[in-house]
Amino acid sequence: MPDYIIGTMIIILSKEISAHDKKLVYSLLKDSGYTVREQTLCGDTLISASGKGLAMHELEILPGVERVAQTSKPYELASRETRADDTIVSVGPVKIGGARIVVIAGPCAVESREQIAEVAERVRDSGAVILRGGAFKPRTSPYAFQGLGMKGLEYMKQAGEALGMPIVTEVVSPELATEMKDLTDMFQIGARNMQNFELLKRVGALRKPVLLKRGASATIEEWLLSAEYLLASGTNDVILCERGIRTFETFTRNTLDISAIPVVKGLSHLPVIVDPSHALGIRAYVHAAALSAIAVGADGLTVEVHCNPDKAFSDGPQSLYPDQFEKLMRDIEALAPVTGKELQRLPPPNAKKVSEISFSSAWTAAFSLITEKIAFSGRSGAFAERALINAFGEDADRLPVSSFSGVFDAVLDGRAAFGMVPVENSLTGSVHENYDLFLRYPDVVMTGEIKLRIVHCLMANEGADLSSIKTVRSHAQGFAQCRDFLDKHAEWYLEIHPTTTDAVLSIVKDGSKNAAAIASEAAANAHGLVILKAGIENNLQNYTRFAIIARKQEGKQLIPAVSGPKKPNKASLVFSVKDEPGALISCLGSLSGEGINMTKLESRPILGSPWSYMFYVDLAIPEDEALFNKALDALKKQAVKLQILGVYRAAA
């Protein structure tokens, strides 16, 4: 029997298809009674066709047709059946989706030029990357504050531009959409308008990013069908926002459907964020709900913040005070590594290119804007690559090299603007090789750090199992971090490789079913290996601290003039001491005398000088920078040699 298509199908056209061949495809579909709609998604031309009667091979053999797929979902453009990879939506310099957690913040409504400017500055200082605020407010009561209209939108646009923040605001009618287009970076479709289909079609046709909130009584399928309206009308950039649904519960404004987040992320490739402010309606509960959303996989949050919530024109009881929002941002930053993500940050206002950024403030730059290469040791799927993606974004131009020293070389000779190297693991301690490399490369310094949760997997070629394994390959750190598991298999021979991905590639190359590798799940997926056992590290609390390195720029001040939560607050240095009693105590006294907190102290032998040692120290930089500088001056007088490895912002 022919493979007849009944329902909806997707025809993906070749990028080289001729106008004649494209017309032929359309003619066959329309002559067969199909309803046809064209959409461009990530550079590919897709034809969505609904009907019945054609066999798949009748379409697949047509010139210019790359692939034909039938979808069981009525929201085919939003479905993972159409696109397996996550969509990443760009809103100005901000990317929503993928390895970043994005926080949108601002008041419920724009009340005045001064109010929105003040809130914008406070939320940006705390780490928000997009400014929210309502200029047009659809309210249940006709007597409630309805917003300042276009004047309010102009105030918000001015506040966003002054701070380098894109803005998002709600559009409430098709007529206003065109008028608002040039004043907002992203449209918001509110819960009340989720099924205002004429509005969805008009906004989608403007081809700008859209934040689509779930209706208070909408099912997940209805929500995704609304997204389908936007995608079918022209925009490729839709972000879904869960903001609570109406249930019988009365203790909160709505009921946050936390389960919707993983469900929707399984059904759709679109990014999903959460609005805990509208979901709960009570400020005291927003913090816990926000962290819960991040924990289950949300790509970000939109949070209401007001400098004086008790006098807010709209939704004051659910709006956070700026200090509460700052605490929430700190907690999100601490939680992010557990989810395998990193908190998105913006560059300083009016920041320019990498060459103009001081090495010690590079961590405060918007790494997602950097176009130069970033070096890491290993190949696709390496833990260092994941750390790189979390810090710099999925679009970062990566330079894989074969060794840790190769990363330093690439940074030093200019092939890479930054490098990513592991320096410490929570189970096995310091990566001494890299600490020693800082001594060999004094012109390379730490510009920042990032913590990554490390989950090790045992992987092998298809057909292998635990009983067939005789040899296991990995980096020495991989073996050390999985020692408890390996001790249960004493019969296995352990073979050390330069990186975990080198071990993976060796398995792929020889095709043996008797050899396995220890590496990341991403490495197994990237190279087609089967995971025999996941989570084999000694302890679930297994984190690696990676240093972001760059070439030292001469003439830059040690601590740049950066204020607020992005200010560098950590220094790493190494020193040696005189061969006399009390020498180390005198050096440490130089630090404690000025109240400098030492967070790490470790000794390492000096190569070529038996029984002589260098001391590696991490210091917390106090709010009063003068104390830190004074302590360094005192340490220089006591130490034989002092080298500052970097001044940067500590990871959470």
pLDDT category at 511 given cuts 50, 70, 90 is very high
Instruction: State how many domains the chain has.
Output: 4
CATH number at residue 632: 3.30.70.260
Segment 564-579 shows an average pLDDT of: 80
CATH number at residue 62: 3.30.70.1140
The CA distances from residue 474 to 35, 248, 494, in Å, are 54, 54, 8
Task: Return the structure tokens found at 526.
Answer: 């990237």
pLDDT category at 187 given cuts 50, 70, 90 is very high
Q: What percent of the chain has pLDDT over 90?
A: 54
Question: What is the structure's pLDDT at 349?
Answer: 60
pLDDT category at 300 given cuts 50, 70, 90 is very high
Segment 621-647 shows an average pLDDT of: 88
Instruction: Judge whether residue 72 has pLDDT over 70.
Output: no
Contacts of 258 (CB under 8 A, 6+ apart): 292, 293, 296
Q: Most confidently modeled of 393-397, 403-407, 578-582?
A: 403-407
Min mean pLDDT across 156-165, 238-247, 301-310, 638-647 is at 638-647
pLDDT category at 47 given cuts 50, 70, 90 is confident
In a domain, 420, yes or no: no
In a domain, 377, yes or no: no
Contacts of 31 (CB under 8 A, 6+ apart): none
In a domain, 281, yes or no: yes
Q: In terms of pLDDT, which residue wins out, 432 or 271?
A: 271
Segment 512-540 shows an average pLDDT of: 92
Are residues 185 and 46 part of one domain?
no
pLDDT category at 395 given cuts 50, 70, 90 is confident
| 82, 46 contact by CB (below 8 A) | yes
Residue 544 is among the residues annotated as catalytic for this protein = yes
Are residues 529 and 571 part of one domain?
no
Q: Which candidate, 332, 342, 360, 364, places its Cα nearest to that of 351? A: 364
Are residues 229 and 173 part of one domain?
yes
Helix (H) or strand (E) holding 631: helix 625-638
Q: How far apart are CA 516 and CA 41, in angstroms?
A: 39
Question: What is the structure's pLDDT at 139?
Answer: 64
In a domain, 546, yes or no: no
Q: Which candidate, 579, 27, 88, 134, places its Cα nearest to that of 299? A: 88
Identified catalytic residue from 376, 383, 546, 628: 546
Q: In terms of pLDDT, which residue wins out, 298 or 148?
A: 298
In a domain, 417, yes or no: no
Question: What is the structure's pLDDT at 366?
Answer: 37
Segment 195-208 shows an average pLDDT of: 94
In a domain, 308, yes or no: yes
Q: In terms of pLDDT, which residue wins out, 25 or 515?
A: 515
Question: What is the structure's pLDDT at 539?
Answer: 87
Residue 325 is among the residues annotated as catalytic for this protein = no
Are residues 511 and 600 part of one domain?
no
Are residues 612 and 575 part of one domain?
yes
Are residues 524 and 482 part of one domain?
yes
In a domain, 329, yes or no: yes
Q: In terms of pLDDT, which residue wins out, 443 or 8?
A: 443
Segment 540-554 shows an average pLDDT of: 87
Instruction: Judge whether residue 5 has pLDDT over 60.
Output: no
Instruction: Judge whether residue 425 has pLDDT over 50.
Output: yes
Are residues 537 and 485 part of one domain?
yes
Task: Return the structure tokens found at 217.
Answer: 């009584």
- Domain boundary residue, one of 343, 372, 387: 343
Identified catalytic residue from 8, 169, 544, 628: 544
Are residues 215 and 117 part of one domain?
yes
Q: How far apart are CA 533 and CA 543, in angstroms?
A: 19
* 361 burial level (CB within 10 Å; 0-12, 13-18, 19+): buried
Instruction: Judge whether residue 263 has pLDDT over 60.
Output: yes
Residue positions counted in the chain: 652
Min mean pLDDT across 248-262, 411-425, 553-567, 635-649 is at 553-567
CATH number at residue 516: 3.40.190.10
Q: What percent of the chain has pLDDT over 70?
A: 91
CATH number at residue 321: 3.20.20.70
Are residues 501 and 613 part of one domain?
no
Contacts of 120 (CB under 8 A, 6+ apart): 106, 131, 156, 159, 160, 162, 163, 165
* Averaged pLDDT score across all residues of the chain: 87
pLDDT category at 553 given cuts 50, 70, 90 is confident
Are residues 571 and 482 part of one domain?
no
Considering the entire predicted model, what is its pTM? 0.71
What does 434-461 look like in DSSP terms, one character per residue?
A: HHHHHHH-TTEEEEEEEEEE---EEEE-
Instruction: Judge whether residue 211 has pLDDT over 70.
Output: yes
Segment 64-92 shows an average pLDDT of: 83
Task: Return the structure tokens found at 313.
Answer: 């024109």
In a domain, 474, yes or no: yes
Question: What is the structure's pLDDT at 555?
Answer: 53
Q: Which candidate, 629, 628, 646, 650, places its Cα nearest to that of 566? A: 650
Segment 242-261 shows an average pLDDT of: 94
Are residues 640 and 574 part of one domain?
yes
Q: Which candidate, 209, 134, 133, 128, places its Cα nearest to that of 164? A: 128
| 113, 123 contact by CB (below 8 A) | no
Segment 191-201 shows an average pLDDT of: 94
Are residues 315 and 167 part of one domain?
yes
Question: What is the structure's pLDDT at 355?
Answer: 34
What residues make up the domain containing 644?
566-648
